[in-house]
């Protein structure tokens, strides 16, 4: 291989390697927040015959998560209702929460916010939530 081609190949290799190393810390930092949030997840069982989780009560958000997330075992349409002045104020629309994966239902929620999930169906539902 002529000298110019070797120099060009070495320079391209260095640029590609440096670019990949520059991206690695950003990707790693992005994964830390969800891991700590989901690490504090709670299991749930919503019995058949009710649309609410928890039934007749509310959950509270924590500093572990910026969002309210749900991971149902079957696809479910869900929205979040926040307790305000003793009343529940619900999101306008349901979000399709896909089975077996974390789904953000409400974003950028303050710590200590009181909330409940409202399901579109009164069928039994199980899974996990994190907030």
Candidates 2.60.120, 3.30.70, 1.10.3470, 2.60.40; correct CATH number of 40-130?
2.60.120
pLDDT value of position 91: 98
Each residue of 30-52: pLDDT tens digit? 344 566 899 999 999 999 999 99
Q: What confidence tier does 19 reach under pLDDT thresholds 50, 70, 90?
A: very low
Percent of the chain clearing pLDDT 90 (strictly above) = 71
pLDDT value of position 33: 52
What count of other Cβ atoms lies within 10 Å of the Cβ of residue 125? 23
* Domain residue limits, the chain: 40-130
Phi, psi (degrees; rounded to nearest 5) at 122: -95, 15
Integer angstrom CA distances of residue 63 from 10, 59, 70, 104: 47, 13, 16, 16
Measure the CA–CA gap between 61 and 54, rounded to whole angstroms: 14
Mean pLDDT of the chain: 83
- The reply to whether omega before 91 is within 30° of 0 (cis) is no
Gyration radius of the chain's alpha carbons: 22
Each residue of 74-101: pLDDT tens digit? 999 999 999 999 999 999 999 999 999 9
């Amino acid at each position: 291989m002529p000298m110019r081609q070797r120099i060009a190949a070495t320079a391209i290799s260095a640029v590609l390697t440096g670019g990949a190393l520059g991206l690695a810390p950003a990707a790693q930092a992005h994964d830390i927040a969800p891991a700590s949030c989901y690490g504090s997840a709670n299991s749930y069982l919503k019995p058949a015959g009710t649309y609410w989780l928890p039934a007749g009560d509310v959950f509270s958000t924590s500093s572990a998560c910026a969002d309210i997330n749900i991971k149902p075992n079957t696809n479910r349409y869900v929205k979040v209702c926040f307790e305000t002045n003793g009343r529940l104020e619900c999101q306008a629309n349901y979000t399709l929460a896909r089975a077996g994966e974390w789904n953000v239902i409400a974003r950028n929620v303050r710590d200590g916010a009181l909330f409940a999930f409202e399901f579109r169906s009164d069928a039994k539902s199980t899974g996990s939530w994190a907030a």
